[in-house]
Chain A
Amino acid sequence: METEDQTLVQDCTTENLEPSPVQDEYAPVIFSQETVSHIVSIDMMSGKEDRGNILRARASGKGVLTSPFKLLKSNHLGVVLTFAVYKTDLPLRAAPEERIKATVGYLGASYDVPSLVEKLLHQLASKQTIVVNVYDTTDASLPINMYGPNITDTGLLHISNLDFGDPARKHEMHCRFKQRPPLPWTAILASVGILVITLLLGHIFHAAVNRIAKVEDDFRKMEDLKSRAEAADRAKSQFLATVSHEIRTPMNGVLGMLQMLMDTDLDANQQDYAQTAHDSGKDLISLINEVLDQAKIESGRLELETVPFNLRTILDNVLSLFSGKSCEKGIELAVYVSYQVPEVIIGDPGRFRQTITNLVGNSIKFTNDKGHVFVSVHVVDELWVGPLGVGDEVLRQGPSNTLSGFPVVNRWKSWENFKILNSTEEKIRLLVTVEDTGVGIPLDAQSRIFTPFMQADSSTSRTYGGTGIGLSVSNCLVNLMEGEIGFVSEPGIGSTFSFTAAFGIGEMISQETKWQKNEISVSEFEGLRALVVDGRTIRAEVVRYHLRRLGISVDVAFSLEYACSYISSSCNGSESAHVAMVLVDRDSWSIETDPTFHNLLEEFRELSRTKYPECPPKIFLLSKTLSSTECHELKSAASVDGIILKPLRLSILVACFQEALGIGKKKLSLSNKRKLPTLENLLKGKRILVVDDNKVNRRVAEGTLKKYGAFVLCVESGKAAIPMLEPPHNFDACFMDLQMPEMDGFEATRQIREMEYKFNEKIEGGEASREMFGNVGSWHTPILAMTADLIQANNEECMKCGMDDYVSKPFEEEQLYSAVARFYQSG
């Protein structure tokens, strides 16, 4: 037999087995499983372990496990479990001897631990290699490694108990990962990531909350400030409005009183003082109005009207406003409106006038005694052709071709920054330009001029007056009129302001409406032809524009010589070429020395007289305002038919033409309306006796006098009149016809006067009391003669017989008035 080591590999092959020596006992294997068939007939007691096991098993009657040893054939480490098989039923607490005696055989099983482990754990498929160790830990201090390599501790250890059935022995299985588990990077990164994200989110949230808190805080502060600012603004507007209103009321009182003062009897000095005070007051009021406008605009409360109006009339009005001032300063003032501008436009005439007045006022203020202020109006569509292609003379302005000859800045620059320069179907856009030859605006001030209360520099207010609001108000008004405003200015040359504004297009007023409105009847001059003599194209264009409004067509000659040749060469005899009037500008005159002009004028007159013998053209001189004496002198010196004073306005032209040409009846209706009230004042309620033999005359006289509010009684002869005028009577006056049959006016009057004389004597003499004769001390009825022939002789005779005055028959308003007034003032 081979000696076995308990723990050593037993090299156990069947060939090496020998027949067993003689022993007391044998325990050969009789039956075995096929898998361990190699142990058949091997004496189990030959192995030490097995022997010990067998002995123990039969003694204890329980299953017994060996300590690990090498198994036969497989040489794996394993254990054997042995059970004793007893012959008879043994009581549970039998003594070991009894057990040994009763033993018949043994049952054993070997546990091949490695294969067991491997087979059992075969299904453990894991990514990490698991190291399994099986230990016999019966002796705790000295565990016997039955299976598995000796390896270092890699951390995680799983210990499980193995129970092979023998309580005396303990077995343990240690499972551990072969390698240390790697760091779970995904988990780490993920958790770190999530942590970071959470931190960030937290941070964002925190920041957001903070920000919201801050913003709310700011908001509350702003709200507060805003309400304070609004309150301040409201207070300011209210202050302005109240103060302005409060100032205006006493101011109006002052002005009213001054006006009344001026209407009373004052000497020259006093009149002057009162006038100055009145003017200052008016200036103050207009200043207040401007300031109020500014406030209104700022608070957005300004609204524009939309009514139809005539642009040309408005411009005429503006000219009238400034004609005095411009003449004082010696500046030429002119207006020109292009033909393409419609007659009637819809917009706010008041505000439009205000804007133009503002600009023109500024221009006049800043222009001193030379040059001109020129207002021109065009439709923006006219500009598209460009400065050279434009047909309108005024737009096509050259450097020396200006109204007064003085240089001006290039007007095209003033609107070059405008964005909208076209009209639409409903709205026509007009371009208004105000050009002057004044002192200009200094370059550094040009950016500020539309700012309210800013003036070019601090001395401007002192030198030129004004508050600096005008332009800012104009700016706002222009914006309200959907337009733009711009300017160009050069110090020493002048300034040109331009603005656009949008208007609706109005309908043409028909001729009848014009008539009914008593407007100037254009048809009086329609179709006439005029010749304008002026060296300056633009000025001639201005004259042409005005004459065109009256329906007069115009030819222009540059000097009197040209005019002469024009007259002589114009087509012979054709009516259409007949020149009805010639307008010569004064400058054309002053350029040439007086005698030559005179001669030329004479020559001209001769030519025209021969040309148009029946109706020679009237010659007018266009001149800046002169006093009436100067006018007369000029008229006679130059032997012209009339002098037309500039600035040209329609009303002036019409009046001059009517006077010189004799066209157009005097507006008796107007003069009627004027005189009517005053005649009414004199005649109202008066009792008048009319004496005339002619029925028609009586009726007409009665009607006329009744119109003035008098009570009229008519009698048809002198004879009938005398008893009526016997005192006492109620009549205030008597109109007596002179030529009557039987008793004429003279005789009747004589008799009436005699009657009166007698009565007056009686009263004076005390023969009759005054009460008897209606309390009048001295009877003298005013008797006025009505006569168709107003001859001087008549007058003397009238006076001789006691008449007080005479009037013509039929009554003429003015004469009647003067006669009655004369009487009632002195009487």
Chain B
Amino acid sequence: MELGQLQRRFLEYTRSLHADGFLDDQFSQLQQLQDESNPDFVLEVVSLFFEDSEKLLNALSLALDQQTVDFKRIDAHVHQLKGSSSSIGAHRVKNVCIAFRNFCEQQNVEACRGCLQQLKQEYYLVKTKLETLFRLEQQIVAAGGSIPLME
């Protein structure tokens, strides 16, 4: 596919991600921090996020499976996840985290389990989408073009 088309697709995809709420402004901010001195910034940060989140999700699953649920611990994990997701702009993930924390306060195990499910779902969704986005980015870079920024 030629460069212009790739760039257009990229922009459209980014816009749709924003429109659907998967990503918010913070993600665009991250994109803007990326430049020649820092060419892989976004990729780096997002990879860290993936790593981090997966660890946290595993820990959460473990914690919720226990006989006695340690809500403090869960709260701490969710807090972490909320922090990192909001840092990269994973909007929906962050929202679920907020809800999760509320349930933690209420010490509602069922609700928490439900939230965890949702959390996992959202996380995997945003992961796939970001991976697609990066693939497009790579294609554009391979074709010799620059990544167009969304306004």
Contacts and interface: CB of A to CB of B under 8 A. Distances in A.
Given A668-B29, A694-B52, A696-B45, A788 B151 contact: no
Given A516-B148, A694-B52, A706 B38 contact: yes
B32 A521 contact: no
Interface in A291-314: none
Nearest to B7: A512
Interface stretch (A4-12, A97-105, A697-705): A697-705
B125 to A, nearest CB: 18
A809 B86 contact: yes
Nearest to B4: A512
B120 to A, nearest CB: 18
Interface in A744-785: none
A116 to B, nearest CB: 135
A303 to B, nearest CB: 36
A516 B146 CA distance: 12
A693 interface: yes
Interface string A484-505: 0000000000000000000000
A788 B8 contact: no
Interface string A668-699: 11001000000000000000000001111101
Contacts of B89: 810
B59 interface: no
Given A512-B4, A668-B25, A810-B87, A700 B80 contact: no
Contact of B87 (A515, A665, A668, A700): A700
Contacts of A693: 80
Given A515-B151, A521-B151, A810-B26, A695 B84 contact: yes
B13 interface: no
B69 interface: no
Given A696-B48, A696-B52, A809 B28 contact: no
Interface residues of A, number: 27
Contacts of A516: 148
B83 interface: yes
Given A693-B80, A703-B38, A706-B38, A810 B29 contact: yes
Interface in B42-83: 44-45, 48-49, 51-52, 76, 79-80, 82-83
Nearest to A697: B87
Contacts of B84: 694-697
A667 interface: yes
Best-surrounded residue of A516, A696, A699, A704 (most CB of chain B within 10 A) = A696
Contacts of A739: 79, 83
Interface in A582-613: none
Contact of A707 (B33, B44, B87): B33
A672 B32 contact: yes
Interface string B94-115: 0000000000000000000000
A667 B32 CA distance: 13
B130 to A, nearest CB: 13
Contacts of B48: 695-696, 699
Say what secondary structure dominates the interface of chain B: helix
Nearest to B94: A788
A297 B23 CA distance: 59
A697 B83 contact: yes
A694 B80 contact: yes
Contact of A700 (B4, B28, B30, B79): B30
Contacts, number: 70
Interface size class of B (residues with CB under 8 A): 20 to 34
Nearest to A706: B38
B149 interface: yes
A518 interface: yes
A741 interface: yes
B149 A669 contact: yes
B151 A700 contact: no
A60 to B, nearest CB: 152
Nearest to B82: A788
Interface in A407-459: none
Contact of A788 (B32, B45, B86, B148): B86
A811 B76 CA distance: 21
B88 A696 contact: yes
A665 B79 CA distance: 28
Given A515-B151, A694-B52, A809 B33 contact: no
B48 to A, nearest CB: 5
B45 A699 contact: yes
B38 to A, nearest CB: 7
A707 B79 CA distance: 27
Interface in B114-151: 148-149, 151
Nearest to A786: B83
B45 A703 contact: yes
Contacts of A512: 4, 8
A697 B88 CA distance: 8
Nearest to A518: B151
A667 B151 contact: yes
Contacts of B87: 694, 696-697, 700, 809-810
Contacts of B11: 515
Nearest to A521: B151
B151 A694 contact: no
Contact of B32 (A518, A665, A669, A706): A669
A469 B58 CA distance: 82
Given A694-B80, A695-B84, A696-B88, A704 B151 contact: no
Contacts of B149: 669
A703 B84 CA distance: 14
Interface string A645-675: 0000000000000000000010111001000
Given A512-B8, A668-B28, A788-B82, A696 B33 contact: no
Nearest to A811: B29
Nearest to B89: A810
Contacts of B8: 512
Nearest to B148: A516
Nearest to A511: B8
A515 B151 CA distance: 8
14 contacts: A668-B25, A669-B151, A694-B83, A694-B84, A695-B48, A696-B84, A696-B87, A699-B45, A699-B48, A700-B88, A703-B33, A703-B38, A704-B29, A809-B87
Given A700-B87, A703-B30, 12 more contacts: A512-B4, A515-B11, A516-B148, A518-B151, A668-B25, A669-B149, A694-B52, A695-B52, A700-B30, A703-B45, A809-B83, A810-B89
In the A-B complex, the 9 residue pairs with the closest CB atoms = A696-B84, A700-B87, A703-B33, A696-B49, A810-B87, A694-B83, A697-B87, A699-B45, A696-B48
